[in-house]
Amino acid sequence: MAMWVFGYGSLIWKAGFHYDERLVGFIKGYRRVFFQGSTDHRGTPEFPGRTVTLEPAEGEICWGVAYKIVGEEDQQIALTYLEVREKQYDQKAYVDFFTEPAAETPAVSGIMVYIGSPDKKINPNFLGPAPLEDIAKQIVQAEGPSGPNRDYLFQLEAALLQIGCKDKHVMDLANEVRRLLLQEDGPHNGL
Ligand code: SIN
- Single-letter code of the amino acid located at 188: H
Q: Tens of pLDDT along 152-187?
A: 999 999 999 999 999 999 999 999 999 999 998 766
- Split into its structural domains, the chain has a count of 1
- Residue to mutate, 4, 38, 51, ligand 1, most ligand atoms under 8 Å from C-beta: 51
Which residues constitute the domain of residue 126?
Answer: 3-189
pLDDT score, position 184: 82
Which CATH number fits the domain that encloses residue 98? 3.10.490.10
Question: pTM of the entire structure?
Answer: 0.94
CA max distance for the chain: 54
Average the pLDDT over 87-116 and give the result.
Answer: 96
Which is it for the CA torsion 99, 101, 103, 104, positive or negative?
Answer: positive
Closest CA to ligand 1's atom 4: 9
Q: Tens of pLDDT along 28-76?
A: 999 999 999 999 999 999 999 999 999 999 999 999 999 999 999 999 9
Q: Give distance in angstroms: CA of 104 to centre of ligand 1.
A: 26
Closest ligand 1 atom to residue 51 Cα is: 8
Closest CA to ligand 1's atom 1: 9
Closest ligand 1 atom to residue 5 Cα is: 3
Residues in the ligand 1 pocket, defined by CB under 6 Å = 7-11, 51-52, 86, 114
Residues catalogued as catalytic = 86
| CA 37/CA 81 separation, integer angstroms | 20
| CA 69/CA 80 separation, integer angstroms | 13
